[in-house]
Structure 1
């Protein structure tokens, strides 16, 4: 079989309408005959042609009699049934060139001879159309670059974008209904005698009519306002008219929230979000998310007020194409919080029956659990060695890669003593355990909401309060009642931190369980980029490991035997040995997980991981006066650390510059941003402050 481009070029002798595959592929250039003026060239993508062929197949009863070219007939039928906007426009104004291009594609797919091609005929048999669809689909894949999760950007997942809610809703519904006609019967099973879908949350979304309707029939009210788009979709012999009554505001009519609910009910493989005043539809099944996985699901974002710490969390949600309504929860910490019930709720015996008083945080945790069920992860009871019966979550890496993180932002986290109100989370976070076997995983974690607590209250009321009602969640709720509700694997907690006279400090118990980010150092406020930023934070994902193993290092090019990681850790800990700041197994595990998660390809990138480990895990623990900051030999501990880092980094890093692992250039994300060695800069600043009698990591 000839390739498509060779075939198209070979038809020049038998066709007045020249066309050829674009020089870089993925589209076809075609020309008119020039009989009505100058020759003009047009471009149509293979994807548009594929959609056109599918439209012909779906409406073959209307096309089958048009095998011989009649301009008016093809213009009328094409403009009515071609749902692709580009192809629909072309069939209207360049009917014959468009007709011949479709005919050539079908002829090529069915191995017809070029010399036999006729500009006035087209093969519209079902077998020929199906073969053309199959071969165009194969050809499109040749021009689709292979998916590399580390290089993916948001645009890979986007399907439809529009600034107008009305036009966005029309494009979304026309696309999804057209591509999933079999779903319409189940949707319409809820229709009323008026033949209008009138779900509780979605009034008059579209009309399904046995006959074509004119504008008058689609208008209502004294002003005869047009309520539906006049161009229908076809469903067999019936017609679908989509509502025009879409607004951003729920009170005015159909809204963004209405459309979101509609997709959740009928097309869960798609989601919508609003980003920078633009509405976006994206597939949740198309490609892995562009994430750099964290080594720990708990961040402390430290910095002076107004640097953008809370905004950073919101941008992480948007960067993952998540919804702020779905994937984000902002909780303002109160100064009078002193126990876990302030955060997670409590059992109340006031009233007619014992009930559980929930909080936004607990409801958000339940929402993350629902997302795991909706994603298709298996949640079950298993007998674990040494643990007995346990609630486990199992699944495949591909499913995990498609899941969106759920970001819980605790604003002004240290207005209250974190060790008190956050005690349950701090204890349970260390019980998380990931086990991988090939591409499959098992996740377990101790409960943060204990089963004994659930048994004290009305389980039905608590289930409804946590929005876990419905047959879909029956099995998981039964397991939660037996084993409690643990920290969901897709939850990330980020606490914003200011250090002043109104806030509390952090014990090493908290710091050891968190990744501390000095926000001003990691995400500097560059006033020159206030109006037009050149950099952005990389999109972060939830951890997929809990305990580092030597086998995990096999994929780390810069340190596949973990020897460099061990040597660096031991060099640092040798200075800290015998001081209150000495490191232990947990810290080494954190360093190892960071190396494995980032997977540096060379020594420069590995040094950047070590540098960030110092900033996030080691230096936040160090504070005190001159006496406290002495090593075993009575030397200045800070100066000793500076010497170790300089000896480690000077032979590797040119001018002590290293790549930024948390930011990227907006216009060239593949190009690294070089920044000064952060931990050396911080140690030098802390050492200067020590001259005043006391020093601390915290800004």
Structure 2
């Protein structure tokens, strides 16, 4: 009997993988099965009756379903999945009642819920020095939109925070690629490859492995795994030249065409599809250094990303010198992999709610930014509200803190101009960061009391930009 049960289990698992992995009901079924299994393990309940019911009776029904499919075709069958899903659920409810188990108790069992505190702890163990707020900003930005830019001082940890997160949440290193951008990237070939003009059956894939990663991420069986493409020093070349296809499809369900005609293969004999798409489980992180060898991002790029600035302050550097330690990222290895599906589920929670306080604040910023042509559109408005929502999901953060982060990451990156053009606007924006009734003078900016600042991150950035405008006659969000 045990052998039959094991065989039926294998058949059932294979069926779920190959036939209906896209169906939400099946995903719910799998999650439910996992919860039940964990519950039984925890409670040490005898489960023979339950196993026989699932592995024999229901497998028989599924095999009948498959036989019908062979006769009439998958799409033509008149037995929707929900029809055989309802029976197992009703049977489980009956079993539940007979064994004095409550549905509420089952719902409380969620061993794989995404927990940012677990990541914080592992980061600390690894020897990296990042504040919990910075980690929350980074993770929440990924959950808001799968395109994040990390800018700031060279050596401040931009690549390390990305590397540490992907090591923590991925099952193995096949789910991410760290690719250094070259100064000679003038088209999409370094990321997407190109069809061999001399061989109509061959497609040359990039050595970086970026295309292979994108194709793997789009496979049905990998839908519950996050994949990450980390582009290091993204602005060594003009982003709009090599990244244009990605910018285009980011806001739509359109696909990127690779070639036309019959199917081509790579040098290893693998089929390369003639078009690819940006799947919901693919995240792209770009690191940005600002110096004389790099290029500035256009508003088109900045508008589509969450931009996080990395700075090293006195407290950070003192903490390091007080307790210097060697970085060991191995302690992060796949420790958060069981939370990957929960992470992806949160990333798909895209409903937004009205909040009059947010509206009033953002409209005031809009009116001031408009004076220098840096106002924002509907896309940015939606993404600010989503960012605030994701910040509140993953961390305990106040309303003012979340608004402060949204202003810093979505409104200020496009702000730039000469002293004569921008000084008055900077002054007005700084006042919006202070409590009502406060006055401001750039000469006395260090004397502003912390309790009078509503949005400290944005305030500090705007003051630095103001000082740069006075010293250099020009200022921008990006700082060398």
TM-score by length of 2: 0.61
Asked if 1:655 is matched to 2:455, the reply is no
Equivalent position to 1:342, from 186, 190, 194: 190
1:299 partner SS: strand
* Unpaired segments ≥5 residues, structure 2: 1-39, 52-94, 120-124, 127-138, 439-448
CA deviation profile, 1:634-674 (whole Å, cap 9, x unmatched): xx111100111213799xx972688xxxxxxxxxxxxxxxx
CA distance in 1, matches of 2:211, 2:290: 27
Match of 1:446 in 2: 254
CA deviation profile, 1:606-635 (whole Å, cap 9, x unmatched): 2112111121111111122112215xxxxx
Asked if 1:419 is matched to 2:240, the reply is yes
Equivalent position to 1:626, from 399, 416, 419: 419
Equivalent position to 2:468, from 670, 689, 694: 689
RMSD: 4.4
1:621 partner SS: coil
TM-aligned CA distance change 1:648 to 1:338, over 3 Å: farther
Deviation at 1:49, TM superposition (A): 9.5
Match of 1:353 in 2: 200
Query: Any conservation in 1 of the 2:186–2:238 contact (CA below 8 Å)?
Result: yes
Match of 1:193 in 2: none
Matched pairs, number: 348
Equivalence map 1:177-576=2 (5 Å)? 292=140, 294-320=143-169, 322-350=170-198, 352-359=199-206, 360-370=209-219, 373-375=220-222, 403-431=224-252, 445-448=253-256, 450=257, 453-456=258-261, 458-462=262-266, 484-520=275-311, 525-529=316-320, 531=324, 541=343, 552-553=352-353, 561-576=354-369
Asked if 1:642 is matched to 2:446, the reply is no
Which structure's residues are more often strand, by fraction? 1
* Unpaired segments ≥5 residues, structure 1: 1-45, 59-130, 157-274, 277-290, 378-402, 432-444, 469-479, 554-560, 631-635, 659-675
Query: Any conservation in 2 of the 1:629–1:637 contact (CA below 8 Å)?
Result: yes
CA deviation profile, 1:524-544 (whole Å, cap 9, x unmatched): 8444155479xx999994586
TM-aligned CA distance change 1:624 to 1:607, over 3 Å: same
Equivalence map 1:608-627=2 (5 Å)? 608-627=401-420
TM-aligned CA distance change 1:611 to 1:307, over 3 Å: same
Deviation at 1:155, TM superposition (A): 7.5
Query: Any conservation in 1 of the 2:218–2:277 contact (CA below 8 Å)?
Result: no
Decide which structure has the larger Cα Rg and report it. 1
RCO comparison, higher one (Cα < 8 Å, 6+): 2
Asked if 1:607 is matched to 2:400, the reply is yes
CA distance in 2, matches of 1:546, 1:626: 42
CA deviation profile, 1:461-513 (whole Å, cap 9, x unmatched): 15976678xxxxxxxxxxx65xx311011111111110011111111111111
CA distance in 2, matches of 1:522, 1:356: 48
Deviation at 1:363, TM superposition (A): 0.9
CA distance in 1, matches of 2:355, 2:105: 39
Query: Any conservation in 2 of the 1:575–1:640 contact (CA below 8 Å)?
Result: yes
Deviation at 1:336, TM superposition (A): 0.7
Query: Any conservation in 1 of the 2:435–2:453 contact (CA below 8 Å)?
Result: no
TM-aligned CA distance change 1:648 to 1:600, over 3 Å: farther
Deviation at 1:323, TM superposition (A): 3.5
CA distance in 2, matches of 1:485, 1:462: 15
TM-aligned CA distance change 1:622 to 1:526, over 3 Å: same
TM-score by length of 1: 0.43
Query: Any conservation in 2 of the 1:408–1:494 contact (CA below 8 Å)?
Result: yes
